[in-house]
Chain A
Amino acid sequence: MSEFSKALSMTSAGLAAQTARLRHLSENIANAATPGYRRKTVPFEQVQSRMGGPAQIAAGRVKLDQRPLERIFDPGHPLADDTGHFDGSNVDLMIELADAREAQRTYEANIKMFDQTRQMSASLMELLRK
């Protein structure tokens, strides 16, 4: 496996990890109004690839954010307790959107690296074509 191949597989692992992150972010945003929903966070970790290559990035096990849920006052709600409150979700849309933007930026950076690797290998082969 050449260094170019390694760089390509590393980059595509990064792309896949960012996609997994984006999936959980969209899940959080979709469930922003779900009562009792805790937002999911995706830790990234390094994984040894099967073919003995360099360690690649991958999205690890999903964790639930343990911040307290938002208490919403709505006495007419079926989930409301004696005080008229019920547990909302602890999703903060601002954080989710900022996270999504960061995922997009990292994705773009990985795409750029992918393209750069291909260009470098192509120009290397161009040397022999003279």
Chain B
Amino acid sequence: MDIQNLTAAQNYASARPATAPVDTSAGAALQNGMRDFAQTLRQGEEAAMAAMTSQSDPHALVQALSQAELAVETAVTVRNRVVEAYQEILRMPV
């Protein structure tokens, strides 16, 4: 009985690294992407403020807002996919 427990524990210990988070450069790339995203949003806000106080022409406003829309849409879609994948893993029968 004891020896069975021991092998089970050993098996578990040997299989355990498979579940450890893998350190890849994807994290850094993601961080860069998020920084880009935040900057695009900030530019959109600045352009909106400048256009409201008539410091820039409306074309800049339209362009900046469209860029922001593009960025938000991309980010939301990617986030939805990530959350979906996470929930898929959570639902996995163990």
Q: Tell me if B81 counts as interface (CB < 8 A to partner A).
A: yes
Closest B residue to A115 using CB positions? B66
The residues in B between 40 and 94 inclusive whose CB is less than 8 angstroms from any CB of A are 57, 59-60, 62-63, 66-67, 69-70, 73-74, 77-78, 80-81
Docked CA distance A118–B65 (Å): 12
**A121 close to B (CB within 8 Å):** yes
Shortest Cβ distance from residue A122 to the other chain B in the assembled complex, whole angstroms: 7
Residue contact B59 to A15, C-beta cutoff 8 Å: yes
**A31 in the interface (beta carbon within 8 A):** no
Q: Is the interface of A mostly helix, strand, loop or mixed?
A: helix
**Known interface pairs A12-B59, A16-B59. Does A114 touch B66 (Cβ–Cβ under 8 Å)?**
yes
B60, B66, B80, B81: residue with the most chain A Cβ atoms closer than 10 Å? B66
Pair B77/A4 contact, Cβ less than 8 Å: no
- In the complex, the chain A residue whose C-beta lies closest to that of B36 is A1
* CB atoms of B77 and A9 under 8 A apart: no
- B75 CB, nearest partner CB in chain A, Å: 10
* Beta-carbon contact of B62 and A128 below 8 Å: no
Contact A125 B74 (CB under 8 A): yes
